[in-house]
Amino acid sequence: MIHHRRRKFNFRDFLDSNAFIALGVLFLILLSVSLGRSLFKDYKIKKDIQRLETEVTRLEGEQKQLVSLRDFFKTDFYIEQESRKSLGYAKPGEKVVIIEKELGQDTDDKQASELGNPRKWLKYFLQRGNNT
């Protein structure tokens, strides 16, 4: 019978072995991947914060404009202006005059807006030549 002597585990031999090097490389790879993920998440979070801060600044400016507009709508000047324009109100002694467009004028304006710029110039010069 052959008896194999069992070797006693020697930590020094393990440190010099290929298995230790492989475990070390594997550990470094896992550490690098984890660090890369963390850095990428940090980058994305910083970008999101920057985008949100820009949006907050924009919204604050918009809010200031809306507050100013709201305050203007509450003024007596605006209320009087709108009541004159929309409801036809007038101060005592004033007369309300309503000017309406002629029917043909409205269609000419619509047709002119649909024409291209060169055609508008051509129409302008042709009409001008007919009037003189």
User: Mean pLDDT over residues 78-106, rounded?
Assistant: 76
Residues 95 and 112 in one domain: no
Residues 115 and 88 in one domain: no
> Is 54 inside any structural domain?
yes
Q: What is the pLDDT of residue 72?
A: 92
Has this prediction a pTM greater than 0.75?
Answer: no
Residues 130 and 78 in one domain: no
End-to-end CA distance of the chain: 133
Question: How many whole angstroms separate alpha carbon 38 and alpha carbon 44?
Answer: 10
- Report DSSP letters for 27-88, one per residue: HHHHHHHHHHHHHHHHHHHHHHHHHHHHHHHHHHHHHHHHHHHHHHHTSHHHHHHHHHHHH-
Q: What is the pLDDT of residue 108?
A: 58
User: Mean pLDDT over residues 31-54, rounded?
Assistant: 97
